[in-house]
Structure 1
Amino acid sequence: MRQFITEGPGLPKWSAPISHAVVVGNICHLSGQLSVNESGEYVPASALEEAKMAFGNLFAAVRASGFSIDDITFIDIAFSDLKDISDINALYAELFPEGRRPARTVYQAAALPFGGKVKVCGVAVRD
């Protein structure tokens, strides 16, 4: 059975026709999250501040799906400019303690929605 998460506490309202997450069994696929507020409006800021908001939205999607942050096994981070990677690495180390860090990919994208600087998505798995 699949569960499509389209709303929940702390989740932005999307103008696009997507789900924040899709749960299939013990796996939660998390859509890309950006620096947007609960109204779905883009909040421009530094790459670090945008990443904080994007991860906050990702964590809200995890919780709305009935998973925990500790269940996250994979993170994908897209940057508009890879020069910001050191700041994001420091944030990543704060968010995910050593020994419990998800696998991840990092890359520079030619463009992100709303002209954003950072987008994060991921996968969570329950034991």
Structure 2
Amino acid sequence: MERGHLLRGSEMRRRYIVEVEGVPPSPSPISNAVVVGNQCWISGQLSVGENGVYIPGSAVEEAKRAFAHVFRIAEAAGFSATDIVYVDLAFIDLADVADVNRLYAELFAEGRRPARTIYQAAMLPFGGRIKVQAVAAR
């Protein structure tokens, strides 16, 4: 994990970039996540293998891989899945929402489920079916 510079201000919060082994690098110039103070902002994750190659599958299969990356990134930054407070899901086909909702209910226990946004995207990188991004906070 690479640590960045201190932000100046009344709270003197640390800001650093999180890059994680085992999470494929993005073809875009982005970080896996950025931690500022008690929040971890996790970049959008797709169904890709460690080599960065897209792995096609059903929406649920792709969501499982994307959430695994999100959880791995959160953990590397010192957060856990239970620290996730917001999830943003982009779907190519909103007909897949019901199936992914069942997975979501398994991943996040009732009473601990993050706030969430769902929307339909015209296109996702690599032709993916779903993209997952998240925010964790302590």
TM-score by length of 1: 0.95
Give, as a single letter, the amino acid of the residue that structure 2 aligns with 1:12.
Answer: P
Q: How far does residue 2 in structure 1 lie from its aligned partner after superposition?
A: 1.1
Q: Given the alignment of the two structures, is residue 37 of structure 1 paired with residue 52 of structure 2, yes or no? A: no
Q: How far does residue 39 in structure 1 lie from its aligned partner after superposition?
A: 1.1
Q: In structure 1, how many angstroms separate the alpha carbons of the residues matched to 2:105 and 2:113?
A: 8
Q: Given the alignment of the two structures, is residue 51 of structure 1 paired with residue 51 of structure 2, yes or no? A: no
Q: In structure 2, how many angstroms separate the alpha carbons of the residues matched to 1:47 and 1:83?
A: 10
Of 2, 19, 32, which residue of structure 2 is paired with 1:6?
19
Is the partner of 1:23 in helix, strand or coil? Answer: strand
1:6 touches 1:18 (CA, 8 Å); kept in 2?
no
Give, as a single letter, the amino acid of the residue that structure 2 aligns with 1:57.
Answer: H
Q: In structure 2, how many angstroms separate the alpha carbons of the residues matched to 1:111 and 1:37?
A: 20
1:72 touches 1:123 (CA, 8 Å); kept in 2?
yes
Partner of 1:87: 99
Of all paired residues, the percent bearing the same amino acid is: 59
Q: Give structure 1 stretches of 5+ with no counterpart.
A: none
The two structures, once aligned, show a CA RMSD in angstroms of: 0.9
Describe the superposition over 1:34-93 as per-residue Cα deviations: whole angstroms up to 9, x where unpaired: 001111111111111000100001111101111111100000000000000111000000
Give, as a single letter, the amino acid of the residue that structure 1 aligns with 2:101.
Answer: N
Q: Give structure 2 stretches of 5+ with no counterpart.
A: 1-13
After the TM superposition, which residues 12-27 of structure 1 pair with which residues of structure 2 at under 5 Å, given as runs? 12-27=24-39
Partner of 1:122: 134
Q: In structure 2, how many angstroms separate the alpha carbons of the residues matched to 1:99 and 1:52?
A: 21
TM-score by length of 2: 0.87
**Structure showing greater relative contact order (alpha-carbon pairs closer than 8 Å, 6 or more residues apart):** 1
Give, as a single letter, the amino acid of the residue that structure 2 aligns with 1:60.
Answer: R
Number of residue-to-residue matches in the alignment? 125
